[in-house]
Structure 1
Amino acid sequence: MAEVATSRTSSATSDQLLVVIDPVARRTDGESVRIAKDVLSAGAAGTKVCLPDSAEEFARALARRGSRRPVVVGDDRALVRAVTLLHRQRELAGCALSLVPVGSAVSLARSLGVPAGAVAAARAVLDGAERRMDLLVDDSDGVVLGALRIPPLGGPAGMPEAGGEAGRPWLRTCRSLVRTLVPAKPSGSVSAPEAGPARLRVEVDGATLVDLGQPVECVSVVPDTSGTARVEVRPASVGAEASPLLARARTVTVSGAHFRYRADAAVSGPVGTRTWVVREGAWGLTVPVR
């Protein structure tokens, strides 16, 4: 892992930065990485740049940051990796992260308020303010920053037809998600039987929102800014569209047939049960001052 230290006297900020540049970002958009590094080095009192070549080196760089403020240059996966590492080290409470989004998968970063573009994002690192946000933490110590999704069982053919998607953006999301979770069939292979909608029990703060007897098309859990998560369950329907089941909760448990789920950009499972708990204001991200 290469490290480069730069420093300058600055009246604008006394921040000491640790800039960790994800290897994927270096491979996909070296020019944006160079611009971000130049802006940060010019604007901070002291900048240490780390170029990890693996997840292990990425973790070591964060662990050895000392009093420096960590800045991740990379995509959504790099951001989630950094939050996960700091959470498991129990250091999230006292550490504000900054991000310069580089790569093709940066929709989570933008939804959290990080500017697009290397220059704007780097300036936000220097001049922005920390915003504390809620975090979903599961019983395997995994984290969710933006959204948790559980699709139906089986392949895309088990979903309603595309013609029924008009005015139903949740359905398009679920169909797209299923396609990412189900591997393509090899040529000449025999199709497995379609499993259809999922049969899951969804409990919110100990109360059952939906039980195994009601098949569901999609479950989504999104951390809010009030110490709770927004839970939406779309029951499977025949004919008229069934109304979604909505709730807010601090604890969400999903159980039943083994299922896979998408937490931000990562797919996990299959699991038979999983519980997510909202940690209010658990992590901080530097965003532009409004």
Structure 2
Amino acid sequence: MATFATSEQLLVIIDPAARQTDGESVRIAKDVLSAGAAAKMCLPDDPEEFARALSRRGSRRPVVIGDDHALLRAVTQLYRERELAGCGLSVVPVGEASLAESLGVPCGAVAAARAVLDGTERRLDLLVDDSDGVVLTELAIPPARRHVPERLSAAPWYRSLVRTLNPRPVRLAAVPSPGPARLRVEVDGETLVDLAHPVEAVTVIPTTSGTAAVEVRPLSVGAEATPLRASGHTVTVTGPDFRYRADAAVSGPVRKRTWRVMEGAWGLVLPSA
């Protein structure tokens, strides 16, 4: 674990969705960070500019002001540049931040900004897949049913947020849960379930011990079926065109994907104990 001096230079990247979602929280975070450290503010207009700013950070420690999607974007970018191991990342959550909070980041602009200045870097495990995707907290197959509340879908800031995260036109509608899937799940090369047995859900969670906890819920008929559990360093899922949710993002369809655990792969600055 590493602690940081307030004299250290920061690169504060403010996600465009955060500026539109809660400009007041962004202003408060900027004020706290600027008062406590030498902070360079960067206001990218789109994900491409966000990535360029992160790549050109130099010796400055990156701080992301934004939601869970912004956090995932930053971790993914650093991993694909193969610079994740040497870069302690900080985040001030603005917008949907259930992922950041589950990792221990304080909610509230002031508390989160103070943690950036006074916190400690914690090394965390990571799941990476064979397409350079990352999973910070949980992988789920199939992705859970999600609804966009009507009052949010009508709000201008929400439509702008969706356009920022996905430049393609999207329909703000419910994403239905698919039915039972036939999947082969292998953990460290050993088959946990094969294609002959339909499953309701598969979850994979990186632990703090360099392994992933895997749970498969078989399709239940009558009495609830007992979940199948295993742990290992690599997890391979094979099946006919399945989708999966990695943290806050849904991907697919794919027919095969392998995830492996990278122990202590990334650093997140959290409040000091």
Same fold (TM over 0.5): yes
Cross-structure match for 1:24:
17
Structure 1: where are the runs of 5+ without partners? Answer: 1-11, 152-173, 186-193
1:184 and 1:109 mapped to 2: Cα distance? Answer: 25
3-state DSSP of counterpart to 1:178: coil
CA shift digits 1:113-151 (9 cap, x unpaired): 000000000000000000000010000010011110002
Cross-structure match for 2:80:
88
2:113 and 2:146 mapped to 1: Cα distance? Answer: 35
Within 5 Å, give how 1:187-202 maps onto structure 2.
196-202=179-185
CA shift digits 1:167-223 (9 cap, x unpaired): xxxxxxx7xx134699859xxxxxxxx973100000000000001111100000011
Cross-structure match for 1:116:
107
The one-letter amino acid of 2:240's match is A
3-state DSSP of counterpart to 2:145: helix
The one-letter amino acid of 1:212's match is L
3-state DSSP of counterpart to 1:141: coil
Cross-structure match for 2:244:
261
CA shift digits 1:64-86 (9 cap, x unpaired): 11100000000000000000000
The one-letter amino acid of 2:145's match is V
Cross-structure match for 2:145:
178
TM-score by length of 2: 0.87
Larger Rg: 1
Given the superposition, is the C-alpha separation of residues 280 and 180 from structure 1 closer, same or farther in structure 2, using an over 3 Å criterion? farther
2:192 is aligned, of 209, 212, 220, to 209
User: Relative contact order: is structure 1 or structure 2 higher (C-alpha 8 Å, sep ≥ 6)?
Assistant: 2
Given the superposition, is the C-alpha separation of residues 179 and 79 from structure 1 closer, same or farther in structure 2, using an over 3 Å criterion? closer
Within 5 Å, give how 1:1-290 maps onto structure 2.
13-44=6-37, 46-103=38-95, 105-151=96-142, 177-179=144-146, 196-290=179-273
Given the superposition, is the C-alpha separation of residues 110 and 179 from structure 1 closer, same or farther in structure 2, using an over 3 Å criterion? closer
3-state DSSP of counterpart to 2:75: helix
3-state DSSP of counterpart to 1:82: helix
2:121 and 2:231 mapped to 1: Cα distance? Answer: 26
CA shift digits 1:29-81 (9 cap, x unpaired): 0000000000000011x110000001111011111111000000000000000
The one-letter amino acid of 1:236's match is L
The one-letter amino acid of 1:106's match is A
TM-score by length of 1: 0.82
Cross-structure match for 1:164:
none
CA apart distance, 1:270: 0.3
RMSD: 1.8
2:39 and 2:180 mapped to 1: Cα distance? Answer: 51
1:224 and 1:72 mapped to 2: Cα distance? Answer: 24
2:197 and 2:145 mapped to 1: Cα distance? Answer: 20
CA apart distance, 1:257: 1.2
> What is the total number of aligned residue pairs between the two structures?
245
Runs of 4+ off more than 2 Å: 178-185
2:186 and 2:79 mapped to 1: Cα distance? Answer: 25
CA shift digits 1:210-248 (9 cap, x unpaired): 011111000000111110011111000110000111111
The one-letter amino acid of 1:260's match is R
